[in-house]
Each structure stands twice: as structure tokens, then as C-alpha cells.
Structure 1
């Protein structure tokens, strides 16, 4: 069982299947007309006052807000569904991912969820507001873009290895605009499969948007599938190399990023996408978007060992020492 009492939710949660993540609307805290969040015991425990829209995606809108509770007021973000989407399961996966990474001292890696609540018949959730920017913005500005890029990938490799090995999680929609950079240094040592790895960077990487995620069972088949329209319930989860294949493809499809890299780095990253007779590097450079990558990775037999988190992490360590 998974307790949500800290969110003023008293319904038992389990991660055995999709049904276990469904919380009935009337068992959630409700937001009233004045913005107060009221739990089932009729206690108002927080107030949310909405501001400007920060981002609009296909399944949800991110809206700035001021959240006030007994500890004070702070800026936060509320994710509001579009097209009738139920954001409850996504919120719960985000909490699970953050808890899992926090156990390894990586609490910065996923935004903290503050509330999961009903508003006008819709399920929304509020979370930590992070002051930062998308990594492709930084890549246009930094003096050493190759080092910055490798440091970004280094953190993500660590995150993904932990999430894959401990809870069989695949993000399935990891791309350049689903990660964020906070200008705050990080310095931590972590045991990964018996090898101690140190993260030391002048910034922190944050994973965003778990709306397409899956959790696998002991046979690595999806038991939780947050997008049954796009993915079969028999979709292997996690798939080796899937998340990094999506992510690095999304960066490498941006010409201005490729052109900022030294020639040896371009050759190195191109080599990651040459798999036998398949040259994905050419496809990446010929497409302005990465929608085709989802068609590739949806194949049940898809694996991409060269971009498995631990293997790529070892390669990045070698490259940083050059």
C-alpha cells in the first residue's frame, strides 16, 4: 500500500495495475469557489490562487499559482487536464519516482507534489515551481557545450538506472522539453550496481511530465500503463535504451545544438545512432521532429543496448576525461 495521507487523501493506493491508481473524484480534496482545498473531514488545509498559464500541452495545462498553507505562501504550478484526462495516475507515478530517487539523495530530480485535488469535476495536482530553463537554452549560451551536455546526460543516466532497476519505470516521453535545468550545484556519491559514482555539476537536472510512463512487473511487462491509446498493455517495461534513445534524438534533431559541438563530439554522438545496418543519425538530421522515434520504440522487440543508462554513463565518464 502507498499512503497519501500527507496529501489529505485517505484512499489506499497500490501499484499493481491501472485500476489501483484510480481515486474516485469524491474521495479527493475538493477546491471550493474561493480556492480553498477542503478534505473529506471538511478541513480547509491550503488555498490556491491562480495566475498566468505557463505552458499548454496536449494533455494538460501548467498554470502558475500562489499556494498558501499554515507554513506560509509560495509560488507553485498546477497541472490542469485537457480533453477530460485523469491526471491522478500521473501524479502518483511522479510521487513514486521522486520518493525512489530521494532514497538515493537525488530529491531534486523530480518536482515535489503538494496536492492532488478535484476542481469542477476535473482532477488536478499542484507541485513545486522550479526557477530554471530548458537545457537547449543553456546549450546555446554555455562556453563549453559538450561538457554541459555530458553532465546533463550523466545525471539522467543515474536517474534512469535507479528508476529502471528499482521500480521498473520507463518515462516513455523523455525529450529536450521534458527536462529542466536549475542553476543550483549538486554533489553526491551513489552506489550503482556495486560501483560508486559521483555527480558533481554546477546545475541540477529535473525530470518532467510522467503522463506516458509505465511500470513493469517482475517479467518486465507493463502492469501500469498511463497511455493505453499509444501503448499496448503488453509493452515491455522498461525497454533497454528507450528513454535515452528518445531524449538524445530530440537534442540531436536541433541543428544549432549539433553545430555548437566540437567535431569529435558530433562523431561520437552520431556513432550512438549507428546500429548495424540502421543509421538513425541520418534520420534524426533529416527530421525536424522526433515523432518517428516513437514508432521505432513501440516495436515490442525494440532494445538499444548502447544507450542503456549504465553503459552510456561509463562512456560519458571516459569522454569527460578526454
Structure 2
């Protein structure tokens, strides 16, 4: 039996912990950021939307072009609690919560098939249902086979000192050779020992993109039962372009009452938005704070510097050139209504 689609609201907060006072001023002055520290979107999404399709919605909502790597992760403390900090604990959750070790090289981008035509229309198809995840590596049996192959390959391995330990020690004794601490099967190691000794492209803590947002994400005032795996967290971290290091924190509202109480939307607008989510099987933005950004500008701090340059820069020609460059990457400072955001 197919479950009825229900709309629910999430908050997407794009932020950086490394903004200077100047950058915060520019975001407040020209970036329409209320606090100068973040840009956010409040979005109604279908209850069956997976992380994979949410990725494309996030791209549209913040102005990116899907041109860099991304991942969804849990906070490191929760990851350690779930895995026990051990390879054995992590391996049991591969294919349940976490991507298999070979996914980034073989299967992650199965759906990134844009070639030509309207990029906006292509994106819209990706975040509009029905949602069917066709990646093969995240199937439980395939994912478990992949991680078991890794464990078998390293049935006995050398465990090396961490880079931090190596750096401290080599400065003291001058020995530049990495020390081998012990030999052991991979399955018996801690995750720290594994990460010090072998490299897994993309890391080991990426959430499976086939996971449904509503299933894994609890509202801020919701109690998470430690006896159940799902929901697993109250906040998901989305990272995009590991060079620019864009970070979006994803949280879930219990309901939409606060938007009505604060007069952000009317009851009629909220009702219409929910109907669109259900009937058109697509997300709807009901509130936004801050301008859209764009790729390759240097993260949120770089975007703030860009705003300062185009509005307060001394050279008119340079200001014009920067605007042309930003426009070529899809950026515009034009006002856009909430319902046209996605």
C-alpha cells in the first residue's frame, strides 16, 4: 500500500563559523541576512523525499549549479555514538545509514546526467516526485558485500600512527619515517586507527542518499528513542564544494504554527503551499532570509566579500566585471517571491 504524501517543513541554514566582522556587515547590508551570519530557507517538502532529491532542491534554493562534490553527514559526536568508534560498529551500519566505501567512486553520481538545455528544468525534474532511487551501491546486500570485501582485503594490516602523532614525534626525534604501531585485522580496529592507516575516498561517515528525510530527521522538540535507529538525528549537515566548503544545517519543524504566529505566511498561503506539495509532489519555499549565492565565489565569506566589492568597491569597471562574472554563474540580486524560489 502506497503511503499518502504529507507535507512537512524543514529549515535550511547556510552558515559559516569563520566570517569576519566586515563580512558579517556586508551580508547584513547587502545580502539581506538578518544576523549577518547565515542565509536560510524554510521549505515544505513531501514526506517521501530522499536526501538524494533534497540535494537538488538545495542547489536550486541557494543558487548553485550542481558542479561540485557534496555529502550529507551527522555530527561527529553522534557518528561516534552510533558506531562505538569501531570498524565493527561502523561496518554493521553500512547500507543501513552510511554509504559503502566504494560508492563515491562507482555509484554516487548515477543521476547527474545533465548535458544541455535548461538547467533549471533539469533540476526541477530531480526534486519533483515520484522519487525512485536507482543507485545500486546503497542496496543493503550490495553495500554489505562491499564493506565485507574491504574487511577481507585487510584481514591483517599494519596500523600506523596518526598524522598528528607523527607530526609531533618527528619534530622531537627527527625521524621522518611513519611508525607502525601494530598488526591487526581491520575488523578489530578503532575508526581512528583505520583512518590513520588506509585512505577511503570520500570518507566513511556519508549518509546514504536513498534515506528518506522524514524517516531519519526528528523535530527539535521530538524525543529520539535510543532503542530505535530511526529517527536518528535532529540535525543533518549538508556540505557542498569541499574547496569553498559551503555548509547547510538541516532541521525539522514540528509544525508550521510559528510561521502563522509571526505573520510570515497567511493561513490561505500555507494551505495552498501544502496542496502544491501533495498535488505536484514537489517542495515549496514558504520563507527565505538572504540572497542566493553562487558557485566558486569562495564560500559564504567569499560571497560577502563579493557583495562588498560590487556595492562599495572604488573602481566602476571592476564592479561591472564582477557582476558579469557572477551573472555567468547564474547569480542575480533580483527580488524573487518565495513561491518562485523552487
Q: TM-score range by the shorter chain?
A: under 0.3
TM-score (norm 2): 0.23
Normalization by structure 1: what TM-score? Answer: 0.24
Larger relative contact order, structure 1 or 2 (CA cutoff 8 Å, min sep 6): 2
